[in-house]
Amino acid sequence: MTMINKNIKEVLETISRRKSVIFSFPDEQKKMTGEELFKKVKEVEVALVGLRLKKGDHIGLLMENRSEWILLALAAGALGIVIVPINVEVSERSLSYFVEKGKIKALFCSAEYKEGTLVKIVEKLFYENQKFSKIESIFIAETNGYYNIGKNWGQFMRENEDILFSELPIDSNETWIMHFTSGTTALPKAVPISQFSALNVAISYGEILRLNDNDIILQVLPYFHCIGSILGVLPSILFENKTIILKKFEPTKAVEYLIKEMCTVILGVPTIFLSMINCPNYNSEKTNFLRIVGIGGVGCPSKIFDLLSRKFPYSKIMCAYGLTETSSMILAPALEDDYHTCKNSVGRPIEGIDLKIDYQSSKKSGELLVKGYCVLKSYIDDDDCTRKSIDSKGWFHTGDVAQYTENGCVKILGRMNDMIEKAGEKISPQEVEAALYEVIDNANICVIGVPDSKYGEEIIAFVEMSQAEKIRRKIIDEYDEINEKILEKIMKFELPKFIVFVSEFPRTQSGKIRKGELRKFFEKGKTDKIIFNEKQILD
């Protein structure tokens, strides 16, 4: 990999004369060539300066995947202004926290999302919350329209179009994005990501996939997530490929544009791909141009990996690993890696990343520790969390349990806090889930531990599905066969004691399962469950 020491402004200049389309926004019926993008970014720079925003100031982006998001992000980067992406599913309470913690001076909000829901939340907070009213400027991402608490995009652009300003030098190590973590147990932490980190992680991503100007990426991940803002925007500027950007993920629409635009690359998570292949308009024979299906997160259950490989028969399926604290992707396989490697690992570290596994009670696995140019050095205004996460030698403790595979790749077994300790043995929920996926189809599975007087913790499997009674009946009728198949993957003491059926998992705004709530739900005893390892039914 060739690392670059450039800032966003310098990278943008490399596409200033490019005539081909690099960004397409079907929902807005807009397209931008490199030349058009460069020109529009310059115009937005002028408008931002007209708001008296200066280098180091913060702006909030509360919107879906829109053209304005990209223009603001790139213009801010060129000026040394920090962007603070905010999840569009935000609550009033969370938005107030993000605005204060993010030190936001100007907020850009989507007018269309859920029929103006975001505008209503912003209006309410503006009038009722004293801290929120300190925001100097509020703009609505719509060309026209009148709003009580802010101006529209057209006014933002027109009112400041004649501003003259002197450009200041921007160090590539200065912060470009302040992303908030999406944990389920505490307030989100603020993570600074530099221009240098973002650009070089995007280069690693592009080089691993061998992106070029013939590639067409379908972008379905939201920009308010780290993987979306970095790997969903920068590769097209760095590698001059075309990116089709959907405002939000809708399975049918994603399939439509995947086929219509003959996309060659798509990045997502297992649930995204499962929903796509189950769409009526999905036809695997029409995906012969799709060369890469990239799976983010911590990997993919074996059975789902096999299913996706069958449904995307012309594609290389690859699982990568990253966190907000690592500027998104830091582990990935190579295109040359075989099926087994891609299925059973998240590959190797990208250039510039060191890692080690901290073996403690177990000799097989331990906590994954990382350090490198794109790894968090300090949370913003949170010394306590920084001390807990980064040790005296500079290693960032990811909180993920990992092990090396036989060929030196890394396999993620789950979160440290999620590991189940039964009778002194550490059990990976992810491995139990993978075994259950072998016998339970078309469902999401979540395995947790609950307190148990005999073993310390007992294993509980939750199944989220619409046809609960059907699979419930199958488990009862075919118990011996199912049990035997599961025991091919895990040991007997790793079998879940209970299988619990729920219609829907409680989730965070970013889609993570709230395991603490599942645990409380089970302990209240109001569940439809099977005592699995004793073949009994509880009413």
pLDDT for 145-157, tens place per residue?
A: 666 677 888 888 8
Look at residue 33 in the predicted model and tell me its pLDDT.
98
pLDDT tens figures, 3-20: 899 999 999 999 999 999
- Single-letter amino acid code for the residue at 411: K
477: Cβ contacts below 8 Å, ≥ 6 apart: none
Secondary structure (DSSP) of 173-206: TSEEEEEEP--SSSPPPEEEEEHHHHHHHHHHHH
Taking phi first (over 0 means left), then psi (-120 to 50 degrees means alpha), and beta for anything else, what does residue 484 get? Answer: alpha
pLDDT the model gives residue 536: 44
Q: Is the pLDDT of residue 539 over 50?
A: no
Report the pLDDT value the prediction gives residue 412, as an integer from 0 to 100: 92
Q: Is the pLDDT of residue 484 over 80?
A: yes
If pLDDT is split at 50, 70 and 90, which confidence band does 527 have?
Answer: low
Domain ranges of the chain: 8-193, 248-416, 419-538
179 compared with 466, residue with greater pLDDT: 179
Residues 6+ apart with CB under 8 A from 199: 4, 6, 8, 11, 172, 234, 238
Q: Which residues pair with residue 452 across a beta bridge?
A: 456
Q: Please calculate the CA angle 42-47-51 and round it to the nearest 5 degrees.
A: 145
8 Å CB contact between 233 and 205: no
3-state secondary structure of 26: coil
Name the band, by pLDDT with cuts 50, 70 and 90, for residue 535: very low
Q: Say if residue 338's pLDDT is above 90.
A: yes
Name the range with the highest mean pLDDT among 349-353, 492-496, 506-510.
349-353
Q: Please tell me which residue, 314 or 478, carries the higher pLDDT value.
A: 314
Query: In whole numbers, what is the pLDDT of the chain averaged over residues?
Result: 89
- CATH code of 248-416, in short, is 3.40.50.12780
Indicate the CATH number of 8-193 among 3.40.190.10, 3.40.50.12780, 3.90.550.10, 3.40.50.300.
3.40.50.12780
Q: What is the dihedral of CA 59, 63, 68, 71, to 10 degrees?
A: 50
pLDDT of residue 531: 60
Question: Would you say residue 161 has pLDDT above 60?
Answer: yes
Q: What percentage of the chain has pLDDT greater than the value 90? A: 58
Residue 367 is inside which H or E element, if any?
Answer: strand 366-372
Q: What is the mean pLDDT of residues 112-132?
A: 79
Closest CA to 409 of 341, 358, 363: 341
When comparing pLDDT for 52 and 140, which is higher? 52
Torsion of CA 390, 391, 395, 396, to 10 degrees: -20
pLDDT tens for residues 373-426? 999 999 999 999 999 999 999 999 999 999 999 999 999 988 888 888 887 777
Give the amino acid at 424.
Answer: G
Find the mean pLDDT for residues 122-136.
77
Domain 419-538 = CATH 3.30.300.30: yes
Assess whether the region 8-193 and the region 248-416 belong to the same CATH fold. yes
Question: What pLDDT score was predicted for residue 430?
Answer: 85
Quickly tell me which residue has 């209970």 as its tokens: 498
Write b or e for each residue in 53-83: b if 16 or more Cβ atoms lie within 10 A of its Cβ, otherwise e.
Answer: beeebbbbbbbbbbbbbbbbbbbbbbbbbbb
Q: Say yes or no to pLDDT of 283 above 80.
A: yes
Predicted pLDDT at 146: 63
Least confident of 156-165, 207-216, 242-251: 156-165
Half-sphere exposure of 187 (CA within 13 A, CB side): 14
Q: Where are the alpha helices (DSSP H) in 3-81?
A: 8-13, 34-50, 67-79
On the question of pLDDT at 537 being above 50, the answer is no
Which runs of consecutive H residues, i.e. helices, occur in 243-322? 251-260, 270-277, 302-311
